Amino acid sequence: MSKFLRPALGAFVLMLGAGTAFAADLPSRKAPPVAYVAPPPVFTWTGFYVGLNAGAAIGNSRYDWQPFGASFNQGGVAFTGGGQLGYNWQTGPLVLGLETDINYRGASSNSNGGLFGATNLGSGYFGTLRGRVGFAMDRVLFYGTGGLAYGNARFPATSVGVGPAGLMALSRIDNPGTRLGWTAGAGVEYAFNRNWSVKAEYLYVDLGRNSANYVDLLTGAPVALRARNSDHIVRAGLNYRF
C-alpha cells in the first residue's frame, strides 16, 4: 500500500469514529411512550341499593254505611314517605329487580261523607314487596313493577252526622288491622353516577274489602262501615347504589 494512502485511510477511520461518538452524544429524538389510560368502566344497574321516598297518597277507597246503604268515595290527599331496599340485575338493556318498602301515610279528610257528613281518616302505614322489569338506556331506566301490598285499613275513629233517626254520633269499636293486597305501577329512574340515582314512581295499592263496627253513642244502635281500601301513590325517591 502506498505510503500516502495509509495516512489517508487512518485519518478516515479516526473521523468515522469521532462522528459516531458525536452522534451518540446527541439527545434522542424518539418520542416517549404514551401513558396508558384505562377506559371508563361500563355503567351497570346491577347491585343492591337503599333509599328514601316521599310523595302523595290519593284516596281511592269507597265506604258503605250499613244497614242504611249510604256510601261515599274517599278522595282526600295525604302525605306519604318512607324507605326502600332493593336489588337489580342487568343483562343487555334488560333490568330485573326486587324491591321492598315501608311507608307512613298521613291523615286525610273528605267532605263527601254520605249519610253522616264529613269523614276524617287517620294516619297509618303501608308497604310493598314487588318485582321490577325495566329497560335501560345507559343511565336512564324505565320500569314496570308489581307484587304484594300490606297495610292498615283506614276507618274513621268517629263520625257525626244526620242519620235515619236524626242526629247520630258514631264511635268505632273495632279495627280490622293489617290487610294484605296487591300493587302495580311504573316509574323512571336516572343515575347521576355509579352510586346515586333519583326516581319518579306511581303505584296503585289495593288492600281489598273489609269492615269496621260502630256504635251510636246517642242510641246504642250498631252500625257497620264497609270499605274497599285503595290508594294512588305518586312519589319521588333517592337511592344510594352499592
* Grid cell of 174 as nine digits: 273495632
Task: Classify 217 as helix, strand or coil.
Answer: coil
Residue 180's CB is within 10 A of a number of other CB atoms, namely: 10
Render 14-39 in DSSP notation, one character per residue. Answer: HHHHHHHHHHHHSPP-PPPPPPP-PP
Helix or strand (DSSP H, E) at 156:
none
> What is the total count of domains within the chain?
1
Confidence at residue 23, expressed as pLDDT on a 0 to 100 scale: 46
Q: Is residue 41 part of a domain?
A: no
Residues 108-167 have pLDDT tens digits of: 876 555 556 667 777 889 999 999 999 999 999 999 999 999 999 888 888 887 777 788
Dihedral angle, C-alpha 63, 174, 207, 238, nearest 10 ° = 110
Task: Classify 57 as helix, strand or coil.
Answer: strand
What CATH number does residue 226 fall under? Answer: 2.40.160.20
**pLDDT at residue 29 above 50?**
yes
Write down the pTM of the prediction.
0.80
Q: Is residue 86 part of a domain?
A: yes
At 169, the pLDDT band (50, 70, 90 cuts) reads confident
Range of the domain at 76: 47-241
Question: What are the phi and psi torsion angles at 132 (to 5°)?
Answer: -130, 140
Residue 25's CB is within 10 A of a number of other CB atoms, namely: 6
Q: Is residue 71 part of a domain?
A: yes
* Residue owning grid cell 315501608: 102
Residues 34-90 have pLDDT tens digits of: 777 767 778 999 999 999 999 999 988 888 888 887 777 777 899 999 999 999 999
